[in-house]
Structure 1
Amino acid sequence: MRSLAIYALLGCMYCGVLPLQAQTPTPAATPAAAAANANPDVRFRALEEHEQRGAVLKIRDQLLFERSEKDKRERAIAGLRNALQGTLMNPDDTQKLAGLVTLWQDANSLYDEVKRANYRQLELITLIGNAKLSAGMLPQVASFLLDAEKQTTQLGDNQKKQQEHLLSFGQPIIMAICNVPPPRSFITHSGITMRLCGQGKEWFYVSEQPITEAQYQAVIQPQAGDSAKAPATDSPSPAKTDVSLTNAIRFCGMLTRLEQRNLLLPNISRANRYPPIPKAGNENHTYVLPDNNQLNILSLTSYTPSCAIWINSPWLPNDSDTERALERFAVSFNIVWDPRRLFAESTTFGELPFARYPQLGFVIVTHRNTGWYLRWQHLLDKMDAANAEQPLNTPE
């Protein structure tokens, strides 16, 4: 009986009814997990398709955006050309200048937009290149990427043409600005009214009347902290007479320094916000006495000063005796213009530079560009002030 029990136990062990050792069952690994354990770089197919779809959608949206922006720029460039023609027809020179400056700024803004589009084009090309590297790409996706690459290249070519158009558009604007004639008159910072005289290349400005007592004192002896502005008074000041040629020239030099201090040349400290108009030399912003050539032009106009005036050109005698006398005493005479014949029957005669008479005063002249640049500066100052008053568009 005992032997039977032993055989039965051995039989159970052989047939596997009773385990020799207790073991914990291990769950079967999934194929994807097994592959991931074997190679950590393996990607899930569904995830790859999702990423490809996201990249394609981003490329598609960016292409739609760039095409829309390209069309907007085309319409804006065409609008600039039409606006330029309308601006050139404006009879008001100041308004014409302001319109031309605005057009130049608009063209510059469009040019900056094209530059930003160029950067976005490079980014789009990179996106397309990365998307083409994906494995297992569907045929329709590959076809779309090839077409997107072609469209992106065409956008780049179009942007180059737009840049060329905008650059060429800026030159006519600058030429139109320079061709605007100088104003018929202007008032200096010192309160002297200057009026345009002559025509064409012979244009120059002359003071509307002889320099007055108040204007002379404001320049020669300005108050502390004063910028030689004309004193505010209701009664007109008489002409400054009894003045020598030397003192009149001294007045012109002081006036020039005071005016140039206020007349800032364009495009200085303006951060290229305005067209780069060629700067005139200092000789175009000086105030001097008229010379003999300008006297000839003044005598042909209706300009008639209230007193005799100095002319900063030598007087040449008509007879040999006077000429020999001048050489003998080593003196020279300057021209005095007397259109009202206050001194004699002749409208011009010669006088020593240090001579002074109650009927003798002076007028001043300046280059035609002085008025042009002064108006230009006033326009830019006004535009700067208008921009400073505009509220900033800050996000809420």
Structure 2
Amino acid sequence: MFEVSKLSNQKPRAARRRATVLAGIALAAAGLQAPAALAAAPDPVQRSVNGLVRDDGVPAALAAVTGRDGRSRDYTAGVGDLATGARVPRDGQVRIGSTTKAFTATVMLQLVGEGKVGLDQPVDTYLPGLLRGDGIDGRRITVRQLLQHTSGLPEYLTAIGNILADPHRFYEPRDLLDLALTRKADFAPGTKWEYSNTNYIVAGLLIEKVTGRPLGEEITTRIIDRLGLRHTYVPAPGELTLRGPHPEGYQREASDGPWRDVTELDPSVAWAAGELVSTNSDINHFFTALLSGKLLAPAELAQMRTTVPADKLGPGTRYGLGLMSQPLSCGGVFWGHGGDIPGYHTRGGVTDDGQAVSVTVTTIPDAATVQHVDTAVDTALCR
């Protein structure tokens, strides 16, 4: 996922006290339905999102579930804005972090289908001389290895550190890559699997070189407009806020500390690896269309679904080309790609029989809450 290091909190003391009080009010408000009403709620998905607010203490949780018949239902819990007490907008816009990688990979595989890119061609075929460093050589790294995180390219976020120390800073893609190239390769290409956002920065640059167009335009034309994803977009350079109704995103430095509103953020720090904005229902629409063959020809979709073990992302998880599979408690797997970016954590995907779910909480949570989000996804797909 698109991850960040420990967050800073620069609020004055009075503002911190106010944020703490507001957070308490908000979480209490989320629990007004509990325990009797929530316990009696018949819908297991609603119980799941209620529990994420009531038991895990996230400011808000949103979900969308799409059935095999294409009908979608939205769920919310918590408070959308801790400062005002505003409700969580149904199917509100959120930053989707690394779910962006599935969009980037889809564009790349469309180019493969058009004969413009070869999956097993070295990066140097398209970007000669770009990847050079300690143990890093673009003549030995293939396009497939970029998309599957088997290139050995080091993580550029390690060099950035705390994104929220300067959340409005703009980064050019080459700035991000140059940060990565100051470090030694993690391993020889093709010998291991290790998640690195740097792979998708290079993939984005490659798409731009081959098409002669900005990556955002390619994603918009080839996927967003084609599928009619009305609430999904690539932020414009310097765009710090979300365009449509949305819950605010929050982080806190300590588990018992005050919430910090981190909604305003320059997503250029994530670019091809994690900058998109979308809604849970649009994410479901995207993955359903992708897995049903509406965006890729059968040969390219089969390549996307060819996976390697990625147990660091969870037991039984396997990673393909910008797409991962995860086991379900009721048998089988679902396909998707989660995402984290300051203020938002999203998980979900689609089963082979066409059920889809996307769940978001408005913070990057701790490990226990991450597991509870995963359980909410499993509950929705196995009910």
TM-score, reference length from structure 2: 0.21
Larger Rg: 1
Relative contact order: is structure 1 or structure 2 higher (C-alpha 8 Å, sep ≥ 6)? 2
Higher helix proportion: 1
Higher strand proportion: 2
TM-score, reference length from structure 1: 0.21
